[in-house]
Chain A
């Protein structure tokens, strides 16, 4: 098989995958947060999980919360905004905007039209909404929760089997998931208090909500993933179902082969020399990555699964599809 060529089949036959690679069990939950530090490929993994679930017949929606529209970019789709847009069979996408979520929440809360109009026109209301710390995060999580309800609050809301969230990066991520509990303690009465409690209960319900951490096979990302898992379990109380080690190089050369290639690295043929050196680099990176994989396995409780590095210049929907078939 040639590595970088366009005539290579992009997918394996479906039957073969089904046998080799059972669907990850946590995709049977209703809500999955995909989290990890910046630049580890969270969006690609979130979309890959979405594609996988959709292929299994689950009606799935992938939510973005940072209004960067990375997921729609993967699908080469124009911005989806605060709408549920179909990206593939059984797969939808939405970019959750906090202002829109707030508006929707108020609409659902206040049945009296005159009151709603009054509130939206009121400047005090927008000041307060902007001034209340964490309210944006809270209504964002509220919208995620609403999407995950079989009995949707939004009129004619589509029923989803699974909601996947491309969560904010580490650090922001913990605070984001803790928002409902923090809020429940600040607002001791009223609908927000009740709502925040409902959200917190849902997030920490291990039967229905889970998280997948995405990591890279390098020293510091491994340390951070271990710390993230600890915080997710102990501070947020959410279930951690999987750690995906993303971007793992293939082991193309054995140690013995590397020794043979080392002799070639001094050869006069420039191209052969460069190729031999590239192979030696690859072998050394692949080895140090394996060492990081064992460290990660020792340091986290959740099952660790690997995802291959894709030698693709740009990671689009086909790359996500390739990954989706390797998820387990």
Chain B
């Protein structure tokens, strides 16, 4: 099986996807670092407000503009940087505002949308709008053509599916059926403004309060001039995602739940005809030598060498615990490989030190960018 370097050869977009807590941000940063080291101009984008990416790259702050990581930092960690690494943290709200400004037919409609309370809610909080904005920014950067490769760390969604669905949900919301109800001359907007409200409407009004409805109606009115622009853009974004130079990498952990989600997410990618590149399993307990029998032999051997039976017992017990975890991981990964019909599961071991800086990224890269034979050798060397 190929390394991440082979998978991404000739690609211009890499999207790391997976559920929360599996090391997606770290993996994205490591991939971007590795590809930049190979001579590319790479930008890694994150939408995670937790500043994890900035932390791991040694940057104090990350904003909506790409910032280059100091090449000197890499030397210190033994990475020869042939290309450039840039990073940015997406500000979903600012990106949405920019987009509205670009799509608005005139200044007045722009201000009406930006000032509308429903819009402010949507751009801040509506489920999916962050994900949509990540796609937007990706599209924008891709169109500008400043970078050879863009690596997107997708937002931590509750469910991996949410992320794929987000652009569709948001555009549906903006341009879809609910909108048309408001847009018709006799539609809701007119009714809210006028007095001919239907009974259903008045009941809804009674429940949510009149102000909300008026704001909604105004929002949809203000947005009406922008629908075509949004629609065309969403179509191009979707085209970009399905392009053969785009590559989705599924990131997961070795426990049952993350593995199940990775399987599910892979299926969704295939269904949506999006280009799946490979799967990366983080924090794998690599198997050491098999423990035979009840471990009595091991205890005896350890006791003989250490001259301390009690300590030998604890060492053997600890080893048995790890063997159990590594057997579980191996079973889960086998299941994952079978479900994805691939032999190429890239496994990154559970390292002794937790990964949160460039040194850690360099360590991870030894696995991500190694062939599977090399990977086994490295692991054997440290197991």
Residues in B neighbouring A227, C-beta threshold 8 A: 50
Interface centre among B212, B314, B327 (most CB of A within 10 A): B212
| A66: min CB distance to chain B, Å | 4
Contact (Cβ within 8 A) B156 A127: no
Q: Are B121 and A182 in contact (CB under 8 A)?
A: yes
B residues in contact with A124, CB < 8 Å:
181, 188, 198, 200-201, 204
Interface of chain A residues 182 through 222 with chain B (CB within 8 A)? 182, 186-193, 218-220
- B328 nearest CB neighbor, chain A only: A313
Q: Does B354 contact A (CB under 8 A)?
A: yes
Q: Is A223 an interface residue, CB under 8 A from the partner? A: yes
Would B121 and A134 count as touching, CB distance under 8 A? yes
Q: Give the residue of A109, A186, A269, A274 whose beta carbon is less than 8 angstroms from that of B117.
A: A186
Interface bits B270-295 vs A (CB < 8 Å: 1, else 0): 00000000000000000011010000
- Interchain CB contact under 8 A, B319 and A264: no
A242-B205 Cα distance, complex, nearest whole Å: 41
Within 8 A of A (CB), among B245-283: 253, 255-258
Q: Does A314 contact B (CB under 8 A)?
A: yes
Query: Which of B35-43, B75-83, B106-114, B298-306 lies at the interface with chain A?
Result: B298-306
* Measured CA separation A118–B202 after assembly (Å): 11
Q: Are B50 and A220 in contact (CB under 8 A)?
A: yes
Task: Give chain A residues whose Cβ lies under 8 Å from the Cβ of B288.
Answer: 274-275, 277-278
Instruction: Tell me the complex Cα distance, A220–B49, Å.
Output: 12
CB distance A278 to B305 under 8 Å? no
Query: A276 interface residue, CB < 8 Å from B?
Result: yes
Total chain A interface residues with beta-carbon distance under 8 A: 77
Instruction: Decide if A267 touches B305 in the complex (CB within 8 Å).
Output: yes
Given contacts A186-B121, A190-B207, contact A313 B159 (CB under 8 A): no
Contacts of B121 in A (CB 8 A): 133-134, 182, 186
Contacts of B51 in A (CB 8 A): 223
A109 and B207 alpha carbons, distance in the complex (Å): 8
With an 8 A cutoff between CB atoms, is B341 at the interface? no
Q: Find out whether the CB atom of B22 lies under 8 angstroms from the CB atom of A39.
A: yes
Interchain nearest-CB distance for B286 vs A (Å): 10
Chain B residues within 8 Å of A110, by CB: 203
B321 touches A3 (CB 8 A): yes
| Chain A minimum-CB-distance residue to B199 | A118
Q: Is the CB of A261 within 8 A of B315?
A: yes
For the complex, give the distance between the alpha carbons of A127 and B172 in Å: 12
Contact of A38 among B20, B291, B383 (CB under 8 A): B20
Q: Report yes or no: A132 in contact with B216, Cβ–Cβ below 8 A.
A: yes
Contact B319 A279 (CB under 8 A): yes
Q: How far is the CB of B179 from chain A (nearest CB, A)?
A: 8
- Whether the Cβ atoms of A272 and B298 lie closer than 8 Å is yes
Tell whether A34 is near chain B: CB-to-CB under 8 Å: no
Residue A257 is within 8 A (CB to CB) of chain B in the complex: yes
A7 vs B116: C-alpha distance when bound (angstroms): 64
Q: Does B316 contact A (CB under 8 A)?
A: yes
Min CB–CB distance A35 → chain B (angstroms):
12
Which B residues are within 8 Å of any A CB, using their own CB?
Answer: 19-22, 48-52, 55-56, 117-118, 121-122, 124-127, 155-156, 158-159, 173, 177-178, 181, 188, 198-201, 203-213, 215-216, 253, 255-258, 288-289, 291, 297-298, 301-302, 305-306, 308, 311, 314-325, 327-328, 352-354, 356, 382-383
28 A-B interface contacts by CB (under 8 A): A3-B320, A38-B20, A38-B22, A38-B158, A39-B20, A39-B258, A118-B203, A125-B204, A127-B181, A128-B204, A128-B216, A134-B121, A170-B156, A171-B48, A187-B212, A189-B210, A190-B206, A192-B212, A220-B52, A220-B56, A272-B298, A272-B302, A274-B319, A275-B302, A277-B383, A278-B319, A281-B352, A282-B318
Given contacts A125-B200, A127-B177, A127-B181, 9 further A-B contacts (CB under 8 A): A3-B320, A37-B156, A68-B158, A169-B156, A271-B289, A271-B297, A275-B298, A275-B319, A288-B354
